[in-house]
């Protein structure tokens, strides 16, 4: 009996040692479980990454960061701007995720994509070094496959503001914004998504608004530039022809008053001058019509500019702070 008790004691001790070793090796996992167990995350906050297609493992990591959907003032305290011209939508700092609470319906999906982007940062932070090294090669391949100037400029921004974090950022960007990835990388993301295309679709949904605005503004600005140049040229030609006509009319009137024109010459010159005058009136009307068209296009362009600025302002937490009262 004593032998059995001693054996049982040894087994318990061994079990505790093994458990302790496992806890040390998997320290972050233990901390995550404790955090998720004892922290109450609002369903509306959890729903962000669920709508983005994250699976149970992805949601678990998200919850382990005690995510906060923050208003402008508290968000700006947690997430500092790296460059004044670049708005911050979320951040992962000190193992906490903060997402700016954008409520503008035109930007539906921004919070979900941002929350998922930041969750992928938290996942990257939990990966062992060898796995990061393996993924780095796959991420470089995905970047080469999907490279465009906008993405290249974005990566230059991260190189300036977060040196050494290129693969970390690509890990979040590729996972949330690009539909087509290398098969091995897609298989990796399936650890955290039951349908990664959901977050990609949400990203495309609001990004398309900006792309359409940029395209329309570029087209309208081109029309304005072309129309303005044409009107300037036609106005200059009109003025030359008008000056010549006025000079010829003055000469005709002088000759007519002096009686130096016979009836046939008088009638012929008068008819010719009237035709020239009517032709210039048509030119003037056409120029005025083009000016009216220019004004219509200019108003449409300014409407798009206002819309674009309004969307950018909705994205920028620093522009949402209350203004000081006016001095009376």
Confidence of residue 107 (pLDDT cuts 50, 70, 90): very high
Distance CA 271, CA 251 (A): 15
Digit-coded pLDDT (tens) for 179-228:
999 999 999 999 999 999 999 999 999 999 999 999 999 999 999 999 99
Q: Distance between alpha carbon 276 and the CA centroid of its chain, in Å?
A: 55
pLDDT at 87: 79
C-alpha 9: how far from chain center = 62
Domains of the chain: 28-195 (no CATH), 205-316 (1.10.287)
Is pLDDT of 35 > 70?
A: yes
d(CA 109, CA 207): 10
pLDDT of residue 80: 84
Exposed e or buried b per residue across 35-70, where buried means at least 16 C-beta atoms within 10 angstroms of its C-beta: ebeeeebeeebbebbbbbbbbeebbbbbbbbbbbbb
Tokens of 238: 């009109």
Measured CA to CA, the distance from residue 46 to residue 67 in angstroms comes to: 8
Mean pLDDT of 148-162: 92
The token duo for 328 is 């009376």
DSSP code string of 51-65? HTTB-HHHHHHHHHT
Q: Give the rounded percent of residues in the chain with a pLDDT score beyond 90.
A: 76
pLDDT at 71: 93
CA-based max dimension of the chain: 149
Percent of the chain with pLDDT over 70: 88
Residue 136 CB coordination number (10 Å): 15
Of 75, 71, 70, 124, nearest to 95 (Cα)?
124
DSSP secondary structure, 279-324, as one string: HHHHHHHHHHHHHHHHHHHHHHHHHHHHHHHHHHHHH-GGGGSPPP
Query: Tens digits of per-residue pLDDT, 272-324?
Result: 999 999 999 999 999 999 999 999 999 999 999 999 999 988 998 886 444 33
Q: How far apart are CA 316 and CA 242, in angstroms?
A: 54
When comparing pLDDT for 22 and 5, which is higher?
A: 5
Mean pLDDT for the stretch of residues 1-26: 49
What CA–CA distance (Å, rounded) separates 323 from 316?
A: 15
95 C-beta neighbours (distance < 10 Å), count:
15
Q: What residues are paired with 54 via a beta bridge?
A: 193
Give just the sign of the alpha carbon dihedral 259, 265, 267, 268.
negative
pLDDT at residue 96 greater than cutoff 80: yes
| Helix (H/G/I), strand (E/B), else coil: 92 | strand
Helix segments in 67-196, DSSP class H: 72-78, 110-126, 129-146, 149-161, 166-177, 183-189
Tokens representing 294?
């220019």
Helix/strand/coil for 262:
coil
pLDDT at residue 9 greater than cutoff 60: no
């Amino acid at each position: 009996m004593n032998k059995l008790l001693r054996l049982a004691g040894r087994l318990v001790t061994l079990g505790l040692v093994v458990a302790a070793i496992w806890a040390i090796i998997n320290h972050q996992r233990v901390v995550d479980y404790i955090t998720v167990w004892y922290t109450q995350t609002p369903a509306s906050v959890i729903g962000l990454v669920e709508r983005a297609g994250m699976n149970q493992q992805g949601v678990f990591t998200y919850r382990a960061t005690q995510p906060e959907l923050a208003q402008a003032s508290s968000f700006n305290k947690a997430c500092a701007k790296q460059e004044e011209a670049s708005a911050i939508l979320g951040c992962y700092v000190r193992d906490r995720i903060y997402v700016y609470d954008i409520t503008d319906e035109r930007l539906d999906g921004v919070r979900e994509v941002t929350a998922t982007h930041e969750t992928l940062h938290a996942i990257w932070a939990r990966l062992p070094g060898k796995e990061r090294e393996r993924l780095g090669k796959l991420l470089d391949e995905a970047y080469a496959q999907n490279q465009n100037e906008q993405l290249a400029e974005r990566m230059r921004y991260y190189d300036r503001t977060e040196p050494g974090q290129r693969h970390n950022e690509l890990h979040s960007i590729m996972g949330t914004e690009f539909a087509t990835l290398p098969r091995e990388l897609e298989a990796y993301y399936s650890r955290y998504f039951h349908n990664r295309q959901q977050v990609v679709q949400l990203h495309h949904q609001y990004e398309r608004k900006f792309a359409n605005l940029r395209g329309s503004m570029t087209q309208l600005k081109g029309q304005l530039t072309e129309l303005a140049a044409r009107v300037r040229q036609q106005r200059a030609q009109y003025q030359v022809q008008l000056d010549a006509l006025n000079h010829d009319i003055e000469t005709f009137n002088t000759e007519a008053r002096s009686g130096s024109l016979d009836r046939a010459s008088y009638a012929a010159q008068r008819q010719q001058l009237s035709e020239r005058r009517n032709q210039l009136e048509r030119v003037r009307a056409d120029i005025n019509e083009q000016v009216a068209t220019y004004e219509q296009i200019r108003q449409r362009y300014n409407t798009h500019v206002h819309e674009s600025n309004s969307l950018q302002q909705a994205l920028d937490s620093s522009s949402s702070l209350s203004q000081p009262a006016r001095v009376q």
